[in-house]
Amino acid sequence: MSEDGADDQSGENGIAPTPEPPYYAVIFTSQRTDGDAGYSAMAERMVELARGMPGFLGIESVRGADGFGITVSYWRSEAEIGAWRDHAEHRVAQECGRSTWYRDYSVRVARVERTRESAGRASR
């Protein structure tokens, strides 16, 4: 995800099962403005779109009652993150994010190098 993200409301919560590293993470941190203004519907649509993109591995997302949220999406490669960033419908959402939905945001692209999980998840 970049200028969008699934919130508590979208039912996307949970730890994403991801493959052995290396793979990539897009860490999207944002502070929402007040009011929905079409945000929830668009966020849900963006998750749906992202899931259909080549190289999509998973997504984790939480937003607190104060409007601060973190969405981390996982991808197979940087090139596939670029394709998602440039998707036409995603571009529109990014523009609305900048103009309307987010007071502040940060996008960090990172290469996941090591992972560790609770025992119940070890076999995934």
Binding part of the chain for its own copies, among 39-47, 49-57, 105-113 by CB under 8 A, reads 105-113
The continuous run of DSSP H or E covering 68 comes out as: strand 68-75
Q: Draw the binding track, 21-50, toward its own copies (x: CB under 8 A; -: no contact).
A: x---x-x-xxx-------------------
Task: Please report whether residue 77 would count as binding its own copies according to CB under 8 A.
Answer: no
Contact status, residue 37 vs residue 101, Cβ threshold 8 Å: yes
- Given strand 68-75, what is the order of strands in its sheet? 23-32, 68-75, 56-63
The tokens describing 51, both together, are 């899931």
Contact status, residue 1 vs residue 97, Cβ threshold 8 Å: no
Which residue lies nearer to its own copies by CB, 34 or 118?
A: 118
Residue from the set 35, 65, 88, 123 that interacts with its own copies by CB under 8 A: 65
Residue from the set 43, 47, 69, 90 that interacts with its own copies by CB under 8 A: 69
Main-chain phi, psi angles of 24, to 5 degrees: -115, 150
Residue from the set 56, 75, 84, 105 that interacts with its own copies by CB under 8 A: 105
Task: Please report whether residue 20 would count as binding its own copies according to CB under 8 A.
Answer: no
The tokens describing 18, both together, are 């991801």
